[in-house]
Copies of this chain bind each other. A is one copy, B any other.
Amino acid sequence: MDSTDEAEVLVPALAAVMRRRRSVRNYAAEPIPDTVLDACFDMAILAPTSHNLECWQMIDVRDTHRLAELRRICLDQPAAVAAPHLIVAVARPDLWRRGRTMMLARIEREKSDPTLSEATRKFLPLFEEKYRILIPLIFEDGPLHILAPLKRFLVWCRACFKPVMRGPFGRHEQALWAVKTAALACENLMLALAAHGFDSCPMEGFDEPKLKRLLGLPRAAEIVMVIAAGRRGDDGVIPQIRFGRAHYIARA
C-alpha cells in the first residue's frame, strides 16, 4: 500500500478511536481481560519518551484492600468508585540513572550487531557520548539538587552568546520534564483502551501525598493521573465540550 491508500484506512480509524475516547464516569462491573490490558500497555510504551530515559511507570492496582483505599484517596469520585480498574500513572525523574544504564548497555550490544544499517552505525558514537556525558551533566544535580542553581547560572552565562538548552535542572524542572513523557504514554493507553471497546477517565482529583504513601513511591515521584478503566456503564458520558480550532491553534 502506498501512503495515500494507507491514510484512507488509518485516518478514519484513528478519528473513530479519538472520538470514542471519552472521559467516562460510570462503568459496568465487567473487568478488562488481562490480554487486552497488556496489549494496551504495550501501546502506551510506543509513545515518545524524552531522551529515551523511560522515566515513567504505570501501576495497575489489583489488591482489593489497596484498591478500596485508592478509591477513597480519589475522593470517592464516581469514576473511581465504579471502574473495575484503576491505573496510577507516575512520572519518575529519579529513574534517569536506570534509563541511562539501560541505554548504554543497549548501545554496547547494538555495536556488535552485524545486521545494523550504515546510517545507524554512524549515529552510535554520538549516541553513546550523549548518554556518557550529556545526560549526567543535565540530570546529575547532587544531593538535594544542590547543583541545580549553579548549573542554571552557567547555562544562563552561555545563553548570553547563543541559544542553549536550559535543563531540566532541579526538582521542579525535572518533575515537569518527566510528567510530559508520562502524559504522552497515558494518551496512548486511553486511546488503546478505546480501540478495544473499553473506556477510561483521566482523574486528577486525588490526595497525592496519601497516594504516594499507599504505593510506597519515593519523594521525587510525581503522580500524573489516575486512569479509571473498564466498560462504559449507563449515563457514563456527559457531552464533550470543545471550542473550535481558533481557541487552540495560532499561526505566527
Contacts and interface: CB of A to CB of B under 8 A. Distances in A.
Interface in A1-18: 3-4, 6-7, 9-11, 13-18
A241 B52 contact: yes
Contact of A58 (B4, B72, B204, B248): B248
Nearest to A44: B248
B179 A180 contact: yes
Given A19-B46, A183-B183, A245-B38, A250 B59 contact: yes
A54 B247 contact: yes
A172 interface: yes
Given A41-B245, A46-B21, A245-B45, A175 B176 contact: yes
A209 interface: yes
Given A224-B180, A251-B62, A166 B209 contact: yes
A123 interface: yes
A238 B14 contact: no
A215 to B, nearest CB: 6
A177 B204 contact: yes
A184 interface: yes
Contacts of A235: 119
B46 A242 contact: yes
A187 B6 contact: no
Interface string A29-55: 000000000110111111110101010
How many copies the complex holds: the figure is 2
Contacts of A205: 165
Given A177-B204, A184-B202, 19 more contacts: A3-B197, A7-B195, A7-B197, A10-B13, A10-B17, A11-B196, A13-B195, A14-B14, A14-B17, A14-B195, A38-B245, A47-B187, A54-B242, A54-B248, A56-B248, A60-B249, A120-B239, A176-B179, A184-B184
26 contacts: A3-B197, A10-B16, A13-B13, A14-B191, A18-B188, A21-B48, A38-B245, A46-B240, A57-B250, A59-B252, A66-B252, A106-B241, A110-B239, A119-B235, A120-B238, A127-B238, A159-B209, A159-B210, A164-B207, A165-B207, A166-B207, A166-B208, A166-B209, A180-B204, A185-B248, A187-B187
